[in-house]
Amino acid sequence: MSTRRIFAQPARYAAIAPYLWMVLFFLVPFAFVLKISLSQTAIAQPPYVPVFDFSEGWTAINAAFAQLSFDNFRLLISDSLYISSYLRSVIVAVTSTLILLLIGYPIAYGMARLPQRWQAIAMMLVIVPFWTSFLIRIYAWINILQHDGLLNKILLALHLVSSPVVWLSTDSAMYLGIVYSYLPFMILPLYATLSKMDASLLEAASDLGSSPLQAFWLVTFPLSLPGVGAGALLCFIPIIGEFVIPDLLAGSGSMMIGQTLWLEFFTNKDWPVAAAAAVALLVLLVPPLLLYDRLQRRTLEGSR
């Protein structure tokens, strides 16, 4: 008991360096995003009018507050480009999460049914792709999906199609890339809840006369809902802000919000609008993040 207390003191000091680091390089930058999202665009380097100039003292700060403008946010709301890219982000994230659930659930279920020693191996196999570069994995699909790529060759050889199908720069390619990249994030939380489930519950269900399918639907699936929720949110949240996959695999037609932000920043050099888009994207992420936090807490309490 008392030794724990003694240990706690130096452990708190250990947190000082990482604490300062995160404040400086994570928290403070957000203040800058917020600040620049409220300033005016300028054709200069950097391309925005600074909002705060502390060298002038208090009066300058007061003047600066008077200068804050919500123009960038007004632009986001009025321009259909931004509204449609928000909508597209949400639609893409919801659709991909549903596909991930449909594919990930059977795999996680199969893993949980394996003999103990095989489960560890299967788990390793799911984690390893997460280690290999994500860009490389997307690139691997470009290899397969391109006009004279392997997929079209196989389809032609099997006479399933008469001419090569355009796969790249389509929404299906983008969904494929997203599902492929995020599958481990879906499988692992699902597997975690499914493997902890007490098998005697299923035996009881079948003793009471339910078919395997009924037992699954009435017992296994409801009990796995925390895993379903965790997996879904773990995929949904990052997919909303995804940039690389839609940029490489989807067509140039409609953009996700991450792409719009990138375009404003790198191509149009409109930093204030890009910063405003970042703030708006963050706001979009708050509800699912809070939901995830609540879910995690409930799971922790449940396991106690």
Partner 1 sequence: MARRVGRISPFNITALALGMAFLYLPIVILVIYSFNASRLVTVWGGWSLRWYHEFFNDRAMLDAAWMSLRVAAVSATIATLLGTLAAVGLARGERFRGRTLFSGMLYAPLVMPEVISGLSLLLLFVALNAERGFWTVTIAHTTLTMCFVTVVVQSRLASLDRSLEEAAMDLGCDPVQAFIRVTVPLILPAIAAGWMLAFTLSLDDVVIASFTTGPGSATLPIRIYSEVRLGVKPEINAICTMVIALIAVLIVIASLASKLSGAEVKSAAPL
At its nearest, how many Å lie between partner 1 and the CB of residue 96? Answer: 15
At its nearest, how many Å lie between partner 1 and the CB of residue 274? Answer: 6
Pick 128 or 161: Cβ nearer partner 1 = 128
Label residue 169 left, alpha or beta by phi (over 0 means left) and psi (-120 to 50 means alpha): left
CA distances from 82 to 35, 96, 124, 220 (A): 20, 21, 41, 42
At its nearest, how many Å lie between partner 1 and the CB of residue 227? Answer: 14
At its nearest, how many Å lie between partner 1 and the CB of residue 206? Answer: 10
Pick 74 or 113: Cβ nearer partner 1 = 113
At its nearest, how many Å lie between partner 1 and the CB of residue 110? Answer: 4
At its nearest, how many Å lie between partner 1 and the CB of residue 139? Answer: 6
Pick 45 or 78: Cβ nearer partner 1 = 45
Spatial separation of the C-alpha atoms in residues 162 and 205, rounded to whole Å = 51
Spatial separation of the C-alpha atoms in residues 176 and 87, rounded to whole Å = 20
Spatial separation of the C-alpha atoms in residues 123 and 112, rounded to whole Å = 10
- What are the DSSP calls for the chain, one per residue? -HHHHHHHHHHHHHTHHHHHHHIIIIIHHHHHHHHHHTS-B-SSSSSB--S--GGG-HHHHHHHHHH---HHHHHHHH-HHHHHHHHHHHHHHHHHHHHHHHHHHHHHHHHHHS-HHHHHHHHHHHHHHHHS-HHHHHHHHHHHHSTTSHHHHHHHHTTS-SS----TTSHHHHHHHHHHHHHHHHHHHHHHHHHHS-HHHHHHHHHTT--HHHHIIIIIHHHTHHHHHHHHHHHHHHHHT--HHHHHHS-SSS--HHHHHHIIIIIS--HHHHHHHHHHHHHHHHHHHHHHHHHHHHHHHHH-
At its nearest, how many Å lie between partner 1 and the CB of residue 195? Answer: 9
At its nearest, how many Å lie between partner 1 and the CB of residue 49? Answer: 13
Pick 50 or 63: Cβ nearer partner 1 = 50
